[in-house]
Structure 1
């Protein structure tokens, strides 16, 4: 993640926390930044899964997506196994699915209502997220 651009976000939040701009125990920042970060992580995952892995003594060469989904093409073994539906259900019950923003539904709804009432939209880049964060902090304090 750090090599793929994630270090930018790590440093940004460390700087914001050290300056007292953000407290990691509240969710204001999550509403503003989580979807942007997830978008970047999705791009990194796509790039990684489509790059070519070099052959090693233990592994075949190829692209991770192809090696995973079509292992026979490279003469390797498919190690995927089926999971029992009751086990899947049990795991789903133990895990709490999070919203895209990472926030609780009530908080996310309140923020989205504020955006709509004030003619604002969710950010599409880091500077917009910073501006939205500062605005939300003033509106919700």
Structure 2
């Protein structure tokens, strides 16, 4: 699923020393079919321009794992392609949870974007209201109601492109794994099965999301002459825009107003699933001597053990 540039960066991050050409030759040797598939899936996209980081963020939800109880929500900066947040949780349509991602991010960055784009899903209503509230006293042309932009999810170019990256680098693996459990008769889609998936896999999915985001934010984007695409590494383009002849458009916010918004948010729970199911699973693991999962395959094994044990006692 992964190209040679991406795998080269992953190798360096894991302590392996190899040239890009070595990685490219290895991929071509071991996965010639994948190389051809990646070549065949090049898309022509409309030109996109921004004057620097933070004039426009793109926010959206990713539903490919939702049938199994895991929803993903993310946001990306339009200029730098820096991923602002990427969160996996039991839901991605609770407006108070999505708002917490937004408020936590702008508190960390010390300001909010000029504008934020999202689709018309009900989960985005709180973010819209909070951004308009925080921007109501600003005097630029995108202040107040103009700070939030609605549009079709499929036309939300930056985040839609990133979902394609996520699927190739991570999500397709989880889709295949969960689909195998379903095909083998070990997942029915009911409350218990979704809760067990969340208990066994949610933290692993989030850990891998964090790794994919770290790799993406530090990889090098090649410039495209005539397309308005600035080259560089997203994290540097976002934090040091002057290196690329750009200006930071982050808007200042009042800390007391930010605290008011925070009170209307719902942070992610410390429990990856329903609390009652969580307590039951922990009790069974303690009684049976089952270890916490370290990777996807040990998580799948634990899922089957817990499911069989619970169903036998219902």
**TM-score bin, normalised by smaller chain:** 0.7 to 0.9
- Uncovered stretches (5+) of structure 1, i.e. residues with no partner: none
**Greater share of strand:** 2
Aligned match of 1:119 in 277, 280, 289? 289
Give the aligned length: 140
Task: State yes or no: 1:74 paired with 2:244.
Answer: yes
- Residue pair 1:60, 1:76 contacting (<8 A) in 2 also: no
Aligned match of 1:93 in 249, 259, 264? 264
CA pair 112-89 structure 1, distance change in 2 beyond 3 A: farther
**TM-score, reference length from structure 1:** 0.83
Correspondence for 1:60: 230
CA pair 71-122 structure 1, distance change in 2 beyond 3 A: same
Aligned match of 1:134 in 304, 310, 313? 304
Tell me the distance in 1 between the aligned counterparts of 2:280 and 2:259.
Answer: 33
**Greater share of helix:** 1
Tell me which of the two structures has the higher relative contact order, counting C-alpha pairs closer than 8 angstroms and 6 or more residues apart. Answer: 1
Partner of 2:246: helix, strand, or coil? coil
CA pair 71-23 structure 1, distance change in 2 beyond 3 A: farther
Q: Max radius of gyration: which structure?
A: 2
- Uncovered stretches (5+) of structure 2, i.e. residues with no partner: 1-165
Deviation per CA, 1:90-112, whole angstroms, max 9, x where unpaired? 3553435233x631333223322
Cα RMSD (Å): 2.2
